[in-house]
């Protein structure tokens, strides 16, 4: 190879190196984008989120409390358990149509929400009460919000069952028990349950050894 060919190849190589450096400087460092599946929502806290810390007082702050178990009746008794750190216990959601949000379901359109509250069912992280709301679509027949028992489950195996109904709200009853059989939610499971009605209903429960509320 003669001197002219060597110089020509050297010029080509230097030109390529210059162009590569210029492109890199113009674009800056490459960035990795978060890939989100089509039609998905942006990353947000979900209903199954675990709480970083428990309240320092109230129902969830009891020493040794591990979980809360709800015995709901739909054809047969079903147990729905919530860890004491389950974020759903501190969120009041909208379970009515059209969204039908729920912590768990009974029938297809029987949507339940469970959260810690004050005695009137208002969400309260440091509350001493547990509220169970339900929306039941009346087109399915029967009657909704059928709770047999609710228990506080402790790490040592002890269980504290609901001792009193603080407050409640009856749905549309269509000839069923006008009182909603609310007292059937108290004590351990016995295959007798509340019948709080169609559409929206609510019951707020007390677990204290000496009930702070007595229904008249």
What is the predicted pLDDT for the residue at 209? Answer: 80
Same domain, 166 and 84: yes
User: For 16-47, b where at least 16 C-beta lie within 10 A, e where not — what string?
Assistant: eeeeeeeeeeeeeeeeeeeeeeeeeeeeeeee
Res 15 pLDDT > 60: no
Phi first, then psi: what are they for 56, rounded to 5°?
-85, -5
Count of domains in the chain?
A: 2
Same domain, 17 and 121: no
Q: How confident is the model at residue 131 (pLDDT cuts 50, 70, 90)?
A: very high
Residue 1 in domain? yes
What is the predicted pLDDT for the residue at 3? Answer: 57
Residue 214 in domain? no
**Degrees to nearest 5, angle at CA 39 with 87 and 98:** 60
Burial status of residue 12 (CB atoms within 10 A of its CB: 0-12, 13-18, 19 or more): exposed
What is the predicted pLDDT for the residue at 82? Answer: 92
Same domain, 75 and 21: no
Tell me how far apart the 2 most distant CA atoms of the chain are, in Å.
111
Helix (H) or strand (E) holding 132: strand 129-136
Count the alpha carbons within 13 Å of 80 in the hemisphere toward its beta carbon: 23
Residue 54 in domain? no
What is the predicted pLDDT for the residue at 77? Answer: 74
Out of 1-5, 43-47, 61-65, 174-178, which region has the weakest mean confidence (pLDDT)?
43-47
Range of the domain at 17: 1-30
Same domain, 6 and 111: no
């Amino acid at each position: 190879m003669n001197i002219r060919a060597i110089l020509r190849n050297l010029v080509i190589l230097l030109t390529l190196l210059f162009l590569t450096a210029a492109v890199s400087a113009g674009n800056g460092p490459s960035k990795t984008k978060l890939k989100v599946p089509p039609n998905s929502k942006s990353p947000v806290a979900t209903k199954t989120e675990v709480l970083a810390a428990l309240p320092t007082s109230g129902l969830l702050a009891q020493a040794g409390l591990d979980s809360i178990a709800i015995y709901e009746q739909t054809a047969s008794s079903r147990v729905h358990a919530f860890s004491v750190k389950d974020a759903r216990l501190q969120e009041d959601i909208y379970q009515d149509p059209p969204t039908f949000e729920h912590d768990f379901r009974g029938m297809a359109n029987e949507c339940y929400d469970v959260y810690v509250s004050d005695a009137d069912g208002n969400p309260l992280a440091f509350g001493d009460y547990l509220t169970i709301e339900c929306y039941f679509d009346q087109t399915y027949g029967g009657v909704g919000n059928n709770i047999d028992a609710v228990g506080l489950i402790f790490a040592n195996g002890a269980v504290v069952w609901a001792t009193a109904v603080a407050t409640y709200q009856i749905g549309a009853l269509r000839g069923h028990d006008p009182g909603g059989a609310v007292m059937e939610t108290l004590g351990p499971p016995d295959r007798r349950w509340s019948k709080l009605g169609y559409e929206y209903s609510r019951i707020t429960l007390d677990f204290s050894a000496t009930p702070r509320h007595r229904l008249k």
